[in-house]
Amino acid sequence: MLPGFIITLHNKDLDLLKRIQSFFGVGNIKINSNTGNVYYTVSSVKELMGVIIPFFEKHPLLTQKRADF
């Protein structure tokens, strides 16, 4: 299994995912027209280690997702 960061939302929230992508400055957005879902994904180890992980270390999650992290 490869490391990755994924946020899945309904396609009505595409603008929100674009804002998240713009904030982090990394990753890709994919649209699945069959399910009506949109995905923000970061799969580059360099981007995960340099951007995503440091963000969540500085701003810890407050939910069960914290254990997943």
pLDDT digits (tens, 9 = 90+) for 12-68: 999 999 999 999 999 999 999 899 999 999 999 999 999 999 999 999 888 877 777
What is the residue type of 15? D
For residue 16, the enclosing domain spans 1-43
Rounded to 5 degrees, φ, ψ at 29 are -115, 130
Instruction: Tell me whether residue 50 is in a domain.
Output: no
Whether 6 and 20 have beta carbons less than 8 Å apart is answered as no
The residue ranking higher by pLDDT, 43 or 1, is: 43
Number of domains in the chain: 1
Instruction: Tell me whether residue 61 is in a domain.
Output: no
Instruction: Tell me whether residue 59 is in a domain.
Output: no
pTM (two decimals) = 0.86
Whether 11 and 38 have beta carbons less than 8 Å apart is answered as yes
